Amino acid sequence: MYLSFVCCLFISREGIDFLGQHPGLGENCCFVGMEAVSWVVEKVGGVATRKDAVRILQDMVKEQLILHASLDLNVPFMDGYYIYCVAQRMNQQQG
């Protein structure tokens, strides 16, 4: 359900910026949670609040499309300076 949304969020020119390569983050495309929330509120129709955006991003965590940089699947999505990554399987589909 979220595959096209993920592509738009992370691949399009209008998408969020990825963090540069950092030791310990591997090759995953990583981003700051707070920036993703802002992007969703600003770009996705029908999403009026940050709380709504967090719900959408949390659903993406449940679908294992994105995950916390610790790679722990039990870490929920949080609005703040938390680092998340596009799941490896998404990276493989892009390449």
- For the chain, the domain total comes to 1
pLDDT at 3: 56
Show the CA angle centred on residue 29, arms to residues 28 and 32, nearest 5°: 120
Give the pLDDT confidence of 3-39 residue by residue, as tens digits. 566 656 665 566 676 666 656 555 567 889 999 999 9
Torsion angles phi and psi, residue 13, rounded to 5: -60, -25
pLDDT at 28: 60
Closest CA to 33 of 7, 57, 60: 57
pLDDT at 43: 86
Give the pLDDT confidence of 59-94 residue by residue, as tens digits. 999 999 899 988 898 999 999 999 998 886 544 444
CA distances from 27 to 15, 30, 77, 95 (A): 19, 9, 20, 12
Strand order in the sheet with 66-68: 30-32, 83-86, 66-68
CATH code of the domain containing 58: 1.10.10.10
Band the pLDDT of 45: cuts 50, 70, 90: confident
Domain interval for residue 87: 3-94
